[in-house]
Amino acid sequence: MKRRILFLFILLLMSFGCVNEVIAKTYEPDEEINITVYERINPAIVAIDAQTSDGISAGTGCIVSSDGLILTGSHVVDDSKSIEVTMSNGQVYKAELISKMGKNKDLALIKISPKVKLQTIKFGDSQDIKVGQKVLAIGNPFGFSGTLTQGIISRIDYTKNKIQTDAAINPGCSGGPLLNSSGEVIGINQSIYNPDNNISNIGIGFAIPINDAKKFIETVKVSQKQ
């Protein structure tokens, strides 16, 4: 009798293990990519609130160095009196403006002073992008921090040097990353186009190629050393 109970108990444990294995494999490959990229990159993405004479300018930023250098859109921090950065874990820092490029490139660098080393984004190569490839965006649309959306590269505007995407980008997402399936940043989300004065997203968004951002960051770092 005891052997039979032991045998049944072993079968139950084996069955439970099989159930757990099935549960662990419920995600589709495409979902696994989304989950992996988000969990890896989101800690390096911040929410930005800049106090201006017109009120609060909200946006997103990408941590590019472990000592607190953050890349964002210049229009997010234009004419700011103060800048507040909220990390993915809720920790808040005051930031200072380091440099900005202006409307044409719409890139800016701000700096916080963390007590620990921060996780950073991984740069991709925007020269290698293709129309039709899958992209992911992380941002803070309308204050909903750490929001992930997905889409494709819809078009590459070589004249204006912009990446067009149908991944949902809304107010508050400016300065956030446009990512490839490997979790590399290939663009910095900048703006949306729609007939309601850019209030909401209809699937036409634009990002600045990350190669432009890399040049900007390098130029700033060189100038600071001089």
Contact residues for 203 (Cβ-Cβ < 8 A; gap 6+): 151, 154, 166, 168
* Residue 75 bears catalytic tag: yes
In angstroms, the CA 162 to CA 188 distance is 10
Q: Give 135's Cβ-side CA count (13 Å radius).
A: 33
CB 85 within 8 A of CB 91: no
* Residue 82 bears catalytic tag: no
* Residue 88 bears catalytic tag: no
Q: Which of 74, 80, 145, 174 is catalytic?
A: 174
Cα–Cα separations (whole angstroms), residue 171 to 21, 41, 76, 140: 41, 21, 10, 8
Q: Which of 49, 57, 80, 106 is catalytic?
A: 106
What DSSP designation does 93 have?
E
Please give the sequence-ordered ranges of beta strands (E in DSSP) within 25-170, or none if there are none.
45-52, 55-63, 69-72, 82-86, 92-100, 108-111, 122-123, 134-139, 147-157, 162-165
In angstroms, the CA 206 to CA 110 distance is 22
Q: Which of 49, 75, 145, 166 is catalytic?
A: 75
CB 167 within 8 A of CB 157: no
Strands 184-192 and 122-123: parallel
Residues marked as catalytic:
75, 106, 174
